[in-house]
Structure 1
Amino acid sequence: MTEPVPDTAGQVAVAVDVGGTKAAVALVDEAGGVYHHSAIPTAGGDGDSGVGLIDRVRELIAKVAAPYGLDRVTGIGISSAGPVDLTAGTVTPVNIPQLHGAPLLARLADLVPGRPTRLAGDGPATAAGEHWRGAGRGCDDLLAIVVSTGIGGGLILGGRLHGGASGNAGHVGHAPVVVDGDPCQCGGRGCPEAYASGPSMVRWARANGWTPQASADGVELAAAARAGDPVALAAFERAGRVLGAMIAGATATCDLRRAIIGGGVSQAGELLMAPLRRSLAEHAGLPFVARVEVVGALLGPRASLMGAAALIHDAGTYAVEGRVTATLVAA
């Protein structure tokens, strides 16, 4: 737990971030101050269902809000791995199969009767968070990318969060960039997630001769690459090149000014960013595409949590009803 919410905090929202590894909850004030942050593993015991996971999130919300008072918060903002179904208030995360179709929005909304509960995908929430309080401040046209267990993304266009017809716009991890490429767990082929997510990189490296010594995850792969392992280096080169091509395509489509790279894999720094920038330069032929700025995220793992808070604190910018977020006000 962090320090108590100060009396000067103004309005305070509950922010919830449901990801493939963990579900996090915090209280966030209007200035972006984070209080009482806590998290639980997404995976529970054997046979943990989507409803069981939501019940554990409800318990965590009650625990986090208890020192402040759940009756005092202005609402609940929810970021969840997607895709999302904003009409039904449900999610279908590729990496959380037990949550498919579970009533996430409705089950959390009844904790704050009479106040809004809003749901968005983690990619749009990350874009909102970085635009509100991070590396996207002052930029009206950007793509935020999360490179982690999966690859997500979200768009700010014209200074507002953009969700498209279903609220899933910016889902660049599943926008194919390799024709007839590797199968992806989403059911498609050639998706960036099949090449540049942490698990995909590790699978490719192991299939090509890399032998992990400990955790067999992206952190160990990055350490091996820094030590000069040629297969580990090739895995980052391969991932960076796919991401660079993806950013070029997204920029040509949306006329972006900035691409923000976050997520656990991005912590590898230049191992990923150097091949990404080379690939972007090679694929960006048009001047308006070539001028896109690539920067690292500033909010780290809290970007989507901060975006969840932004859905409540600045709904006019980040919660365009029926397009980017789903809103429910329980009786």
Structure 2
Amino acid sequence: MKKVILKRFLNAIPLLFIISIIAFLLIKLAPGDPIQSFVTPDMNPDDVERMRKSLGLDQPIYMQYILWLQNILTGNFGYSIITKRPVLDMIIERIPATLGLMGASLLLSLIIAIPLGMITAVKKNTIFDRIANFFAYIGISIPGFWFGLMLIYVFSLQLGLLPSMGMRTVGTDSIWDVMKHGILPATVLAFQNISVYMRYIRSSTIRQLDEDYVQIQYAYGASKRHVLFNHVLRNVLLPVITIIGLSIPNLVGGAFITETVFSWPGLGLLGVTSIFSFDYPVIMAITLFSSVMLILGNLIADILYSVVDPRIRLRG
């Protein structure tokens, strides 16, 4: 297992290198000029050129990339063009908020989707199954930003039960306050995942219930609950781990939209703000950190495979 993990980390290096090149080129080819954020109507053109030279923007694109890469390899992510703060400090401040939101939504998705998917499989073609599938199709279809706005309208504006934006109430410093602020954005991120997970778990459970080992357990007098949660569940978890690994990019991408809608102070909100202000050092850093999160998420999924199915660990 250690060799597999080491190999995955080594394979991630060229992948991150390619991602950085593509992201850097896209940012440079995008319309706009970061220098315009500093230019005032009465500024001298010579001052503008000196500023461009001090930022290294007067050099060819490949030289700009080489200089940026050299700084990254030494742990220097540069300074934000807008806030003048170190980019690494800004990223470190925002990571806990994003990871907390993603972790809460993923946990909520699994807690609801696993039992719901298995129950709908047992009650296949019943009214309960049809209603659950109807809501699953809705969850897969509706856009996340629209669902977030609807939740704000109902639970914040109309009912006044939950806060509509931010991570904390001004003057309040408690875990419960953070949890209240996180309920709506975590629900938005989890809703689509619950729908996808439930559908996969339902179909996988239906297949497992037709296997011979299930019929043998029934022949020995085992109850349906015992067979479902002691035998079928273990085999159902493997495709669930696959889906989790595949859904991590959606979680990261969804966090950008959800954090913007709810003003959640994470990497997503910082990324969108940096894109609109053309703060390319921050954009590049967020791109790299998001890529690392995706790679680590898929690596964790591979490790969980070996935990759930010992045969995979033995082959490894």
Q: Select the structure with the greater relative contact order (CA < 8 A; seq sep ≥ 6).
A: 2
Q: Greater CA radius of gyration, 1 or 2?
A: 2
Using the size of structure 2 for normalisation, the TM-score is 0.25
Q: Flag the structure with higher helix content.
A: 2
Using the size of structure 1 for normalisation, the TM-score is 0.24
